[in-house]
Each structure stands twice: as structure tokens, then as C-alpha cells.
């Protein structure tokens, strides 16, 4: 089994198409097909089901993908360990980030890392918390930035900071004169919220439930920035993390209390996996 075969397999698993993967990998389609066929012969199973012109992972392929991705990640970590000896002159770093931090916490750290280590390429993926944990376990990410506690036991968490959730309204909103508000008083406030698939929404729902509030959710959007824009142009309020709210200086923020809604941000690692110097240096910049 060769590394190139694993790369072929993983790219085809992603594109489900030989032509596209051959283009991505800069090889001919015949070379790619031959490499995949050799891998399947060595493993003694069909990794894909042929559906028309597309290739769909078989049950065996689904099982093998996790281990193939993990193997390549460990090889890359080993290569980075050697690159570390050369003071991070080359290599790559792949980071999974929840949407909120993609616009607040991460850009400054990415810019600082790129200045310090221009030879290391950085890929930042905009993901929700669940996929970040999943891709860390599969070896597709070097490090993740999300909230904790996490859902999966295979994840280690390094605390970064905690932040409160705040009510955000435009200056013409009836609540714009308030500096603070009890959560129970949100019962009659029309809201724009993140969907329930988001960990932050589940945190807010739990707090509202504890206060006996059934929220009037008029709008759901998969972006905190989008929610803030809705507040700018209408009579809705949204519940947003304080870092994002702070950037919306034209809007009015109101402290929520009884209970205080707090979420905990952390750096996520795959438990037991080696950590490259690039990932450790990036984590250090985040903590600064």
C-alpha cells in the first residue's frame, strides 16, 4: 500500500468522480483508476459502488476512509515534525473554526502565524462544532476552535476564554434604553435566532427554558452576522455572543441576567494524536 493510493482514494471519496479527482491530483485518469484498482486488490474489497459515472463509497469504503485519513494525517504530522527541525520552513496547517470565530478571533491569529512562518500554508475551514469534532477524529484537521464541553470522548479541550450572550437591538427598538434585562422578560420580545442545529442556540434554549420562557422566534439564520443585519433593518432583537456584538458598534447591546448565558470557547485536539509544532504555535497565538 502506498501513500499516493491513499491520497487517490480520499480524493475520490470526496469528489465521487474520477475525472475531477484526476484534475485535483494532477494525474491522468488512467493512472488514478489503476492506483485505486491496486488498492482494492490489496485490500480484497471494493471501496466504491459504481453508480453511473459516479463512484459512491461502499460500506467497506466508508469504514476504510476513517483509517486512511488518520494515516495520512499522522504521516503529515511526522513530516511537520521534521520540518520543525528547520524552524517551520514548510508544511501545512488545517484548522476547523466555528462561524462566529471565523470573523472575530481567528483572522488576527492567522495573519500573525503567516507573517511568522510564511513557508507553512494555512487552510481554515468554516465548520459547525459537530463536523469539527468529526474531522479531528478522522485526522482531517490539525486543530479545531469551538465550544466545550464537546460531544465526543475522543476530543481533548484546551480552554481559551468564556463569553456572555447579549441581547442586541437597533437604536430605535423599544428596549434600546435598557442596559440589562432578565431572561424571563424575553417572553414578549420577537427574536431572530440561530437554528437549533447550532450549539449556541441549544445553550440559549436551555437558558430560556430554565427561565420559563417560550421564545417568539420570528427568524432563523445560520450566521450571527446575518442576525445582526436583521436587527439593523427591522424591529427584531437577536441574542449574540459579546465578541460579535462588540463589532456591531451601531447596534445597542443589553446584558442578559437571571440566568447569565455563558459559553466556553476552547482549542480542540484529537485525543492521543501527535501535535505538530505548527499547530502548537498557532494555538499559542490564539491564546495571546
Give the residue from 41, 36, 38, 42 showing the smallest Cα distance to 16: 36
Q: Is position 117 within any domain? A: no
Q: Is position 170 within any domain? A: yes
Q: What is the reported pLDDT for 87?
A: 57
Q: Is position 248 within any domain? A: yes
CA–CA distance, 30 with 53 (Å, rounded to integer): 15
Which strand (E) or helix (H) includes residue 77? Answer: helix 59-85
Q: What is the reported pLDDT for 166?
A: 95
Q: Is position 185 within any domain? A: yes
Q: Is position 231 within any domain? A: yes
Q: Most distant CA pair in the chain: distance in Å?
A: 71
Kindly give, in sequence order, each residue whose CB lies less than 8 Å from that of residue 242, ignoring residues fewer than 6 positions away: 163, 164, 165, 166, 253
What the block records as the C-alpha cell of 207 is 437558558
C-alpha torsion angle, residues 39, 43, 47, 49 (rounded to 10): 100
CATH code (residue 217): 3.40.190.290
Count how many domains the chain has: 1
Q: Is position 128 within any domain? A: no
User: What is the pLDDT averaged over residues 207-217?
Assistant: 94
Q: pLDDT of 137-188, one tens digit each?
A: 888 899 999 988 888 889 999 999 998 999 999 999 999 999 999 999 999 9
Domain enclosing residue 221, as ranges: 162-263
Q: Is position 37 within any domain? A: no
Q: What is the reported pLDDT for 110?
A: 94
Give the residue from 98, 84, 224, 80 showing the smallest Cα distance to 166: 224
**What integer best gives the mean pLDDT of the chain?**
89
Q: What global pTM score does this model have?
A: 0.64
Amino acid at each position: 500500500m502506498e501513500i499516493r493510493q491513499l491520497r487517490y482514494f480520499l480524493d475520490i471519496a470526496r469528489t465521487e468522480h474520477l475525472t475531477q479527482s484526476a484534475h485535483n491530483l494532477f494525474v491522468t485518469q488512467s493512472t488514478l483508476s489503476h492506483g485505486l484498482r491496486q488498492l482494492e486488490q490489496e485490500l480484497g474489497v471494493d471501496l466504491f459502488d459504481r453508480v453511473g459515472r459516479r463512484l459512491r463509497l461502499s460500506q467497506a469504503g466508508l469504514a476504510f476512509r476513517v483509517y486512511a485519513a488518520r494515516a495520512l494525517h499522522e504521516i503529515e504530522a511526522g513530516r511537520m515534525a521534521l520540518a520543525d527541525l528547520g524552524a517551520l520552513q514548510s508544511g501545512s496547517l488545517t484548522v476547523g473554526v466555528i462561524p462566529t470565530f471565523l470573523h472575530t478571533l481567528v483572522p488576527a491569529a492567522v495573519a500573525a502565524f503567516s507573517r511568522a512562518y510564511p513557508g507553512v500554508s494555512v487552510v481554515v475551514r468554516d465548520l459547525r462544532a459537530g463536523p469539527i469534532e468529526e474531522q479531528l477524529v478522522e485526522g482531517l484537521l490539525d486543530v479545531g476552535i469551538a465550544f466545550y464541553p464537546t460531544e465526543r470522548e475522543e476530543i481533548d479541550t484546551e480552554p481559551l476564554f468564556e463569553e456572555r450572550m447579549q441581547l442586541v437591538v437597533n437604536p430605535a427598538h423599544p428596549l434600546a434604553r435598557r442596559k440589562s434585562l432578565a431572561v424571563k422578560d424575553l417572553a414578549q420580545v420577537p427574536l431572530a435566532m440561530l437554528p437549533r442545529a447550532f450549539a449556541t442556540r441549544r445553550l440559549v434554549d436551555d437558558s430560556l427554558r430554565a427561565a420559563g420562557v417560550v421564545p417568539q422566534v420570528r427568524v432563523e439564520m445560520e450566521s450571527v452576522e446575518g442576525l445582526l443585519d436583521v436587527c439593523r433593518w427591522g424591529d427584531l432583537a437577536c441574542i449574540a455572543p459579546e465578541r460579535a456584538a462588540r463589532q456591531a458598534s451601531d447596534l445597542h447591546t443589553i446584558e442578559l441576567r437571571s440566568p447569565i448565558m455563558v459559553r466556553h470557547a476552547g482549542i480542540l485536539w484529537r485525543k492521543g494524536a501527535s501535535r505538530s509544532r505548527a499547530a502548537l504555535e498557532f494555538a499559542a497565538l490564539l491564546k495571546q
